[in-house]
């Protein structure tokens, strides 16, 4: 079984103190930093762009796990790579050619992630799994933080885990959306090895980030 990793989402951080918030996450034992990029078009919200990621990267030595919820995504891949993304995750519905976009990310020596929304089928990515480093399963409809976890997506996690085992593949399975102390165990048991969590990491236990990360890892 792969080591359980926590990728806190800075969507729940204090945006007036983002540099300090990232330092807190690093000291608290975060395995990577999850950065949600939204364009107000592919999803109904706007967040940060490449200049902010570039500035934040200076405060951090751990990986930036950058989730691009933008369309058309292909033409922006290079900008986010140059800004400091270590993992670039895209949605198959946001590109005209998923194969070309995967190869573009690989050509920039970045890890490739592909994300599936709650209603997106595994069939969208099944032929590309050998080229993918990470599959991100959304357990809420993307767009805003603080939404309630959708347990029905755990079936998709189990299906992916089964495919991974049968075909001897090595991609990470990440889950994002409403992850908290009540459902983290179910997500891990289903097969997820990377948990994205924002509100729980930043707000629970009076903001004790280390304690919250440890609890999500079931330590």
Return the active site residues: 36, 176
- Secondary structure of 147-207 in HEC code, one letter for each residue: CCCCHHHHHHHHHHHHHHHHCCCCCEEEEECCCCCCCHHHHHHHCCCEEEECHHHHHHHHH
Q: Which residues contact 1 (CB under 8 A, 6 or more apart)?
A: 193
Count of Cβ atoms closer than 10 Å to residue 102 Cβ: 23
Distance CA 97, CA 102 (A): 9
Q: Which of 133, 56, 80 is nearest to 102 (CA)?
A: 133
Q: Is 77 exposed, middle or buried (0-12, 13-18, 19+ CB in 10 A)?
A: buried
Distance CA 7, CA 213 (A): 9
Helix, strand and coil content of the chain, in percent to the nearest 5, comes to 45, 20, 35
Strand partners of residue 7:
196
């Amino acid at each position: 079984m792969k080591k359980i990793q926590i990728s806190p989402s800075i969507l729940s951080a204090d945006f007036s103190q983002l540099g300090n918030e990232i330092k807190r996450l690093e000291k608290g034992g975060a395995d990577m930093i999850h950065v949600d990029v939204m364009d107000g078009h592919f999803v109904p919200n706007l967040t940060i762009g490449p200049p902010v990621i570039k500035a934040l990267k200076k405060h951090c030595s751990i990986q930036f796990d950058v989730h691009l919820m933008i369309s058309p995504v292909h033409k922006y891949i290079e900008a986010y790579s140059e800004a400091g993304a270590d993992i670039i995750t895209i949605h198959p519905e946001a590109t005209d050619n998923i194969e070309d976009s995967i190869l573009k990310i690989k050509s920039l020596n970045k890890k490739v992630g592909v994300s599936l929304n709650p209603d997106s089928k595994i069939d969208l990515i099944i032929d590309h799994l050998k080229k993918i480093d990470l599959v991100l399963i959304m357990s809420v409809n993307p767009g805003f933080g603080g939404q309630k976890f959708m347990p029905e997506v755990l079936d998709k996690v189990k299906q992916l885990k089964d495919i991974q085992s049968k075909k001897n593949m090595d991609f990470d399975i990440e889950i994002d959306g409403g992850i908290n102390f009540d459902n983290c165990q179910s997500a891990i048991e289903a097969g997820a090895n990377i948990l994205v969590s924002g509100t729980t990491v930043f707000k629970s236990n009076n903001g004790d980030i280390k304690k919250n990360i440890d609890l999500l890892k079931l330590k």
